[in-house]
Structure 1
Amino acid sequence: MKSLTIIIIGICIFFASPASSQPSSPLNGVYHTKVSGTNTLWLFSDGYSSQIVYKDTEYLFTKGGPYKYNGETLSIIVEYSDNDSSEVGKTQDIQMFLEGSNLKSPEGVVFKKQPTKTQELDGVWRISGRKQGDEINIIQRGDRKTIKILIDGYFQWVAINPSVKGFYGTGGGHYTHKDQQYTEHILFFSRDNSRVGNYLNFKGEIKDDSWHHSGNSSKGDPIYEIWSSE
């Protein structure tokens, strides 16, 4: 069923090949299309790409990694793909063209660019610490990581280990950040579809170039996390 979904939305034109050597330019922003009830959301932030496929009440799959774009070919070094882990570590080239501000596939599928909503937290972050009791436990950089991609009012977190093609969960949706108040509106969650539609409120502030994120998780557990630039 997942493979059929890819065919329907016309994005199954992936080919494992070396990354393009032509000049690249970033596609910072969010692009969306919906075909036969299936959403495809594409986030591009700070040289990182993530594609999420989901129905309004059902998560389907995601894949992503660092990317380059030369105006015709989108080259992605896949760091995660929960639909097909064999893709991890390969470079996939996707034909994709700019049509005005939108992206368009050779099959004619248009991914509409969402409005620009620049916020202080936009970028790609990696969890680097958690508070337990009164102490901050530093998370050393390694193969396993949890990253969070934020751009133009959308966010996605994903827990992965590219070295073993590991995928441990993802979630995302809309976000706002103003006056140290950070709010998430869940559009998809791989671990529990019933969380879709929930709003989560946190305190979020930048301290010494790190994002301090505190409040309650989707399960209601208190959290205090520190995120650093990926």
Structure 2
Amino acid sequence: MKTKLSITAIFLCSIVVFLSLSSLKSKQPSVQELIGAWKYGTPSNQTVLINSATAFAVTTYNLPGKKFISSYGGSWRLDGNTMVRKIEFNSANPDEVGKEIRVSIGLSGDKLTAGKEQFARLDNGRPGELAGAWIIIGNYKNDVLQKSPVIFKSRRTMKILSGTRFQWIAYDIDSKKLLNSGGGTYETSNGMYGESIEFFTKSPEGVGRRLEFEYTFDGDNWRHKGKSSTGGVVDECWVRRESLEK
């Protein structure tokens, strides 16, 4: 009788251990769990992934060397444990633009595996008030919005933000060209939005600068007002990408 009880106890303990170990392995994540910023690599060759609920951008750059290396992104959706990415820009491999790329993913704590890449979480979409994907739709002149005649077509400018990271990308889907991009870290406080630039495709001299802007909301619109890295006046209107995709 004691032998049977011992065998049963060992069997139950084995199940508990197995379940405990299984819980430590990567699990099938939800969209909400993937939102935010992720990173791997060293400062001289680091890769940052920013996910909003529907869009993403992955960029590799050399921060101390002030060198942009590559960037790709677009829209994404979740299919089980697979991230299905629709590529809208890819500086290193433009032939991927327009294609759907399926990437197997797994999440274990603050570690994200995406294909062969392993990222560590930087934030979960907080605390920044501007988290999400935005598309520029026009500029203000004398406080009056002048909308672009062409919005969210082949040629577009998207800005994607997590809770602490940002990247803007100007690109053309039809020509498969990434036209310009920049990004880094940001903060929001009392109606002010501050960017610290970590990469910039056009001018490495912009890396290391901090820019301050005012920001206000009008429904889905974000008014972005201040001065650019070259000193020019900026008074832009951005709208959440999701509102254009409805």
Q: Do Structure 1 and Structure 2 share a fold, with TM-score over 0.5? A: yes
Q: Within 5 A, what are the aligned runs for 1:15-94?
A: 25-26=30-31, 27-35=34-42, 37-56=44-63, 57-70=66-79, 72-94=81-103
Structure 2: distance between partners of 1:49 and 1:106: 15
Look up the match of 1:154.
Answer: 165
Structure 2: distance between partners of 1:76 and 1:95: 11
Look up the match of 2:118.
Answer: 110
Farther off after superposition, 120-129 or 159-168:
159-168
**Cα root mean square deviation, aligned:** 2.0
**For 1:36-57, what per-residue CA distance to the aligned partner results, in whole angstroms no more than 9, with x for missing partners?**
8310000000211110011112
Structure 2: distance between partners of 1:35 and 1:147: 26
Q: In structure 1, the residue corresponding to 2:120 is in which secondary structure?
A: strand
Q: Does the aligned pair in 1 maintain the 2:104–2:115 contact within 8 Å?
A: yes
TM-score (norm 1): 0.83
TM-score (norm 2): 0.78
Larger Rg: 2
Matched, 1:143 2:148: no
Structure ranking higher in helix proportion: 2
Give the CA deviation at 1:177.
1.3
Matched, 1:96 2:105: yes
Q: Which amino acid counterpart does residue 73 of structure 2 have in structure 1?
A: G
Give the CA deviation at 1:84.
1.4
Structure 2: distance between partners of 1:83 and 1:101: 28
Matched, 1:167 2:145: no
Q: How many residues align?
A: 207
Q: Does the aligned pair in 2 maintain the 1:157–1:171 contact within 8 Å?
A: yes
Q: 1:159 to 1:85 in 2, by over 3 A?
A: same
Structure 2: distance between partners of 1:71 and 1:110: 19
Structure 1: distance between partners of 2:53 and 2:82: 18
Q: Does the aligned pair in 1 maintain the 2:29–2:81 contact within 8 Å?
A: no
Q: Say which of 161, 169, 189 aligns to 2:200.
A: 189
Structure 2: distance between partners of 1:79 and 1:106: 19
Structure 2: distance between partners of 1:58 and 1:226: 29
Q: In structure 2, the residue corresponding to 1:164 is in which secondary structure?
A: coil
In structure 1, stretches of 5+ residues that fail to align are 1-22
Give the CA deviation at 1:123.
0.9
Matched, 1:125 2:99: no
Give the CA deviation at 1:104.
2.4
Give the CA deviation at 1:118.
2.8
Farther off after superposition, 137-146 or 219-228:
137-146
Q: Which amino acid counterpart does residue 101 of structure 2 have in structure 1?
A: Q
Q: Which runs of 4+ in 1 moved over 6 A?
A: none
Q: In structure 2, the residue corresponding to 1:86 is in which secondary structure?
A: helix
Q: Which amino acid counterpart does residue 155 of structure 1 have in structure 2?
A: F
Aligned identity (percent) is: 28
